[in-house]
């Protein structure tokens, strides 16, 4: 597999410099996530600039990421705006030559895309998501872009089985799964037995996986249930099995470290290097 990261780059594609690209290479990364922001406002020249600066240093745009309203938004106008922006993001991903465009369902909760709401899992919300994804996938097919679903137990994309059903309902070859199994940890049972969860994830979604996000899980010593993500190697998630299963399905795929401040990324990369060394899996460049 190939090493990637979400971080260490400016939030504006036009601000990416050879120095940023060299810093990625120095840490052993060959893939990066590029933030598009509002797809309707980003300049095409800036996207081409980002792609070319990174490519000159041997860095592929492994992931494109954009901002938009929830694809499950209960307000039809807001939902339509979200669909339109993701469709525009497909063009941005093409200009970046990105491996995939990250696509999230969002939440019915107006507080944020990954905030809980009882309606996130209702049949009506599932139907809204399927319709939105059909429109988005049509644009992706036209642009020759692959979409990767960012799933989470809090959202409509709540389980491997639910994701498989939604993929089947949309029926587009452009729509795939971004493997982020930590996001499917919904209980202490899942956290303590993440190996079983991982085999379930890859049994359901291994054949439609496009990329991977790598992180870990820790449990809080507090009342009720507190499950938090952490850097690879700092928690109890079976990252080694995750890497083995991912390598068996997508040996040329990118595994991206994410959700860390820039100063913690080098340590996370060293920890992931050590895990791969123990499994005998080499990084491809």
Angle at the Cα of 95 from the Cα atoms of 13 and 21, rounded to 5 degrees: 40
Ordered by start, the domain boundaries in the chain are 2-279
2-279 folds as TIM Barrel (3.20.20)
Give the bridge partners for 64, in sequence order: 34, 101
> What token pair was written down for 237?
């998630």
Q: Is the pTM of this model over 0.85?
A: yes
60-66 vs 100-104, strand pairing mode? parallel
The whole-number pLDDT of residue 223 equals: 86
DSSP helix/strand/coil, 64: strand
The predicted-structure confidence for 201-244, as pLDDT tens digits, reads as follows: 999 999 999 999 999 999 999 888 899 999 999 999 999 999 99
* Residue % of the chain over a pLDDT of 70: 100
The predicted-structure confidence for 104-144, as pLDDT tens digits, reads as follows: 999 999 999 999 999 999 999 999 999 999 999 999 999 99
CB-side neighbour CA atoms (13 Å) of 72:
30
The whole-number pLDDT of residue 224 equals: 87
């Amino acid at each position: 597999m190939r090493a990637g990261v979400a971080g260490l780059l400016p939030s504006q594609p036009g601000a990416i410099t050879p120095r940023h690209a060299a810093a990625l290479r120095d840490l052993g990364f060959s893939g990066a996530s590029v933030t598009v922001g509002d797809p309707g406002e980003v300049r095409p020249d800036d996207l081409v600039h980002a792609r070319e600066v990174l490519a000159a240093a041997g860095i592929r745009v492994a992931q494109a990421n954009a901002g938009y309203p929830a694809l499950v938004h209960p307000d039809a106008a807001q939902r339509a705006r979200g669909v339109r922006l993701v469709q525009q993001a497909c063009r941005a991903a093409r200009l970046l030559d990105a491996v995939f465009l990250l696509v999230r369902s969002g939440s019915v909760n107006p507080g944020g895309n990954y905030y809980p709401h009882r309606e996130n899992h209702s049949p009506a919300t599932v139907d809204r998501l399927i319709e939105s994804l059909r429109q988005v996938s049509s644009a992706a097919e036209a642009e020759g872009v692959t979409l990767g679903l960012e799933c989470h137990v809090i959202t409509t994309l709540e389980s491997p089985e639910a994701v498989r059903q939604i993929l089947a309902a949309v029926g587009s070859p452009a729509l795939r799964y971004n493997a982020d199994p930590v996001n499917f940890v919904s209980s202490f049972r899942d956290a303590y037995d993440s190996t079983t969860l991982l085999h379930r994830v890859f049994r359901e979604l291994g054949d439609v996986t496009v990329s991977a996000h790598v992180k870990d899980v820790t449990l809080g010593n507090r009342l009720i249930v507190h499950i938090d993500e952490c850097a690879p190697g700092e928690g109890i998630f079976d990252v080694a099995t995750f890497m083995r299963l991912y390598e068996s399905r997508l040996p040329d795929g990118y595994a991206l470290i994410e959700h860390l401040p820039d100063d913690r990324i080098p340590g996370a990369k060293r920890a992931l290097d050590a895990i791969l060394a123990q499994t005998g899996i080499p990084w491809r460049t």
